[in-house]
Chains A and B, each alone.
Chain A
Amino acid sequence: MKFDLKKDSVRAVNQALHDLAQPADVSVDHISGDHNLAVGLNRPHKVTLNGHAGYYCAGMNQQAEVTVHGNVGQGVAENMMSGKVHVFGNASQSAGATAHGGLLVIEGDAAARCGISMKGVDIVVKGSVGHMSAFMGQAGALVVCGDAGDALGDSLYEAHIYVKGSVASLGADCVEKSMRAEHLEELTRLLEAAGSDEDPADFKRYGSARELYNFKVDNVGAY
């Protein structure tokens, strides 16, 4: 099934995707920054978006595999539950925000707050990520093949973070941790799933120091 946003509306495309009773291959051409494309899918469709997508592309995805041949605006794959979203360009801020599951792969860079409040999604960024990435990350893994901006992993819960390049600064309660066998295994699996030939041995692991989990009575004077 083919759509062309020069003549089809975003609403018509999304409605058609939702109406498909059986898994299908769907392509959409001439995307020019349109928002909310391929959102809320809940069947294992293969959707190819050709052009630069706007905000919230493939948001709330379940089961579907959405590929974007272009850049995406803020909130790509926000609150994804399962499936895969693959961006062959750069992503704006809050990529994979609050996502519970599935795999988000970004071939280029992701801007600020990538993986903010992630709750189980795996995110592989082949370029660099902006500041406050994985902020309040609760579960899942963020893999960064380039560099990370300021305050990486601020107020982190249990999300795993792997970075190959430099980290501008770590956020509150985020620390570098040793890479154990199970982490190398997880990283190897994620890099393979993302089609990356990076060497897992080149990465460092970051995680929560778990110092913010409980109120410290020593700090009572601050309140």
Chain B
Amino acid sequence: MCGIVGLYLKNKALEGQLGQLFEPMLVSMTGRGPDSAGFAIYGDEVPEGMIKVTLQHANEHYPWHDLANELEQALETDVSVLHNANAAVLKLEAQEDAVRAVITAFDPTVRVMSVGRSIEILKSVGLPQTIADKFTLSGMKGSHIVGHTRMATESGVSMEGSHPFSTGLDLCLVHNGSLSNHNRLREALKKEGIVFETENDSEVAAGYLTWRLRAGDSLQQALENALDALDGFFTFTVGTKDGFAVVRDPIACKPAVMAETDDYVAMASEYHALASLPGIEHARLWEPDPGKVYFWGRD
């Protein structure tokens, strides 16, 4: 069991309240996932040519400025650093591969959570409320956000095993369910050059999407291919730069409910998580059909 929540704002006037609207959604799913939680927030977009890299380290007082200096020297570019608990968001004009190479050479214990122009992934072991407080979720601004509360079933409880998982530039995956063919698929994906950090089944789903997207699939195609390739139970929510996608396996044991008003589109594992949203009593509510890929976002 796990909880998934997503909120996409249609009304830009609400962007300053994204974290405030989202925090109760995430916390309400504590019963479905009390061991870890995380979210991918989209906003504060950097201009084209620049990237935003979200990093974490076990050390709360990690010397991020030393890493930033190293990047500045190696890549000959300015780097801005924003601390948030044991995470840091670095903005710079560079290519992803070059940035990753410098970070790994500088300190392989630094974890790259996400890379893109808009995305920031923050996650940790602990109760959802603790994690929301740790990263000051309620004060965050942005256009949309995807979150997850985890009750581990397939692998151990760790920061690396918690969701969301990055699946490429500005992309992430959260998963409720369990996959039964993840070991074999992981071995196949390793041969395709996909790197895995854990024994987690959801990371394999993320790796699968990364592989398909690299191979040239559109996100729609990648998710449709995932319906064939992945054996098991799942509701996936995929965060994209412009919105999010939802897909459930064809058996559809894992729940999902959607809500839409003039102001937002929201999804959650249970209606309970949507109940705190403004105007929810007049929202259009529905359950996404099994085996069908749904997208919301800006055109």
From A33, A54, A55, A130, name the one whose CB has the most chain B CB atoms within 10 angstroms.
A33
Nearest-CB distance from B183 to chain A (Å)?
A: 28
A112-B252 contact in complex given A71-B285, A90-B286, A131-B290, C-beta closer than 8 Å: yes
A33-B287 contact in complex given A92-B255, A93-B252, A112-B252, C-beta closer than 8 Å: no
Say yes or no for A111: interface residue by CB 8 A criterion.
Answer: yes
A131 to B290 Cα, complex, angstroms: 9
Nearest-CB distance from A206 to chain B (Å)?
A: 21
A55 to B257 Cα, complex, angstroms: 13
Say yes or no for B275: interface residue by CB 8 A criterion.
Answer: yes
Cross-chain contact of B287 among A34, A54, A92 (Cβ < 8 A): A92
Complex contact A34–B272 (CB within 8 A): yes
Say yes or no for B233: interface residue by CB 8 A criterion.
Answer: no
A90 to B286 Cα, complex, angstroms: 8
Say yes or no for B271: interface residue by CB 8 A criterion.
Answer: yes
A33-B275 contact in complex given A73-B270, A131-B290, C-beta closer than 8 Å: yes
Give the chain A neighbours of B270 by CB distance below 8 A.
Answer: 33, 54-55, 73
Say yes or no for B293: interface residue by CB 8 A criterion.
Answer: no
Complex contact B286–A73 (CB within 8 A): no
Say yes or no for A74: interface residue by CB 8 A criterion.
Answer: yes
Give the chain B neighbours of A9 by CB distance below 8 A.
Answer: none
Q: Which of A71-130 contact B (CB under 8 A)?
A: 71, 73-74, 90, 92-93, 111-112, 130
Give the chain B neighbours of A112 by CB distance below 8 A.
Answer: 252, 290
Q: Interface SS of chain B: helix, strand, loop or mixed?
A: loop
Complex contact A52–B271 (CB within 8 A): yes
A159 to B254 Cα, complex, angstroms: 27
Interface size on B, residues (CB 8 A): 16
Interface size on A, residues (CB 8 A): 17
Complex contact A74–B255 (CB within 8 A): yes
Say yes or no for B274: interface residue by CB 8 A criterion.
Answer: yes
Complex contact A32–B272 (CB within 8 A): yes
Complex contact B286–A33 (CB within 8 A): no
A58 to B154 Cα, complex, angstroms: 33
Nearest-CB distance from B252 to chain A (Å)?
A: 5
Give the chain B neighbours of A54 by CB distance below 8 A.
Answer: 270-272
Chain A residue, CB-CB nearest to B288: A111
Chain B residue, CB-CB nearest to A93: B252
Nearest-CB distance from A7 to chain B (Å)?
A: 15
Chain B residue, CB-CB nearest to A110: B287
A92 to B272 Cα, complex, angstroms: 14
Could you give, for residues 260-299 of chain B, a 1 whenever the CB lies within 8 Å of some chain A CB and a 0 otherwise?
A: 0000000000111111100000000111011000000000
New contact pairs (16) apart from A112-B252, A130-B289, CB-CB < 8 Å: A32-B271, A32-B275, A33-B273, A34-B272, A52-B285, A54-B270, A54-B271, A55-B270, A90-B285, A92-B255, A93-B252, A93-B255, A111-B252, A112-B290, A130-B290, A131-B252
Q: Which 10 interchain pairs have the tightest Cβ spacing?
A: A33-B272, A32-B275, A33-B271, A52-B271, A111-B287, A33-B275, A112-B252, A33-B270, A54-B272, A92-B287
Taking Cβ atoms with an 8 Å cutoff, the residues of A that contact B are 32-35, 52, 54-55, 71, 73-74, 90, 92-93, 111-112, 130-131
Taking Cβ atoms with an 8 Å cutoff, the residues of B that contact A are 252-253, 255, 257, 270-276, 285-287, 289-290
